[in-house]
Amino acid sequence: MRHLWMFAMMFVFLAVSCSKPRWTEVTLVQLDDSSFELGELADKKVVFVFLSPECPLCQSYALRINELVGEWTSDSLLFVGVVAGTFYPVSEIRQYIRKYNLELPVMLDPEMSLVRTLNATITPEVFLCGPDGSILYQGAIDDWAISLGQKKLQVEREYLHEAISSMHRGESIEPDKTQAVGCFIE
């Protein structure tokens, strides 16, 4: 019996120590090279938008991202752009922000900590996250992009908009996950 109890305690310890960190436990880097602990946003809901300055869909979606930021940003919901890895110099990221007039703060994830925490794989890919560290929605902004280089004439489903609306109404988010289309995060 004693061995069974010790085995159970060891299992609990391993499960706790191997669990993934929540997004609120990640530190990103601002464009001025200062650190930003996402824990400072722990009382808010956050939309993380993974971006890549050279990805054609990140360029094409800039206007839609700005529309969503303008419509939904509030004291309780923030949008944060994230450029993962160390491939792009800050000067290129700033140029991308200026060229496309991005209206959300953009931060760096040089160690890909947030990428791993959220399982981000594509740019643009969005994550609507709750203050408890949960992921409420993950995936595409909408259904405009069918594949890289192929787009619909008209958007039929505005996934992120629908997810935020459902969240504000206290309803379940359906779908809560879609397949993002774009460039791979490397």
Neighbours of 110 (CB within 10 A): 12
Is residue 175 in a domain? Answer: yes
pLDDT at position 133:
86
What is the radius of gyration, based on Cα positions, of the chain? 18
Residues lower than pLDDT 50 in the chain: 3-18
Q: Are 124 and 99 in contact (CB under 8 A)?
A: no
Beta bridge partners of 46: 78, 129
Is residue 150 in a domain? Answer: yes
Is residue 77 in a domain? Answer: yes
pTM for the whole structure: 0.88
By the 10 Å C-beta count (0-12 exposed, 13-18 middle, 19+ buried), 133 is classed as: middle
pLDDT at position 19:
52
Interatomic CA distance for residues 140 and 144, integer angstroms: 9
pLDDT at position 149:
84
We report the CATH number of the domain holding residue 77 as 3.40.30.10
Interatomic CA distance for residues 36 and 23, integer angstroms: 12
**Considering its fold, how many domains does the chain have in total?**
1
Report the alpha-carbon angle 31-124-53, nearest 5.
Answer: 45
pLDDT at position 14:
40
Residue 186 token pair: 């490397």
Helix 159-169 / helix 62-72 crossing angle, nearest 10 deg: 10
pLDDT at position 132:
87
Q: Which residue range(s) make up the domain with 54? A: 21-184
E-assigned strand segments in the chain? 27-30, 35-37, 45-51, 77-84, 106-109, 122-123, 125-129, 135-139, 145-147, 150-151, 183-184
Is residue 136 in a domain? Answer: yes
Is residue 115 in a domain? Answer: yes
Q: Number of helices (H) and strands (E), helices first, in the chain?
A: 6, 11
Residue from 73, 46, 26, 71 nearest 136 by CA: 46
pLDDT at position 90:
98
Is residue 11 in a domain? Answer: no
Is residue 149 in a domain? Answer: yes
pLDDT at position 131:
85
Is residue 113 in a domain? Answer: yes
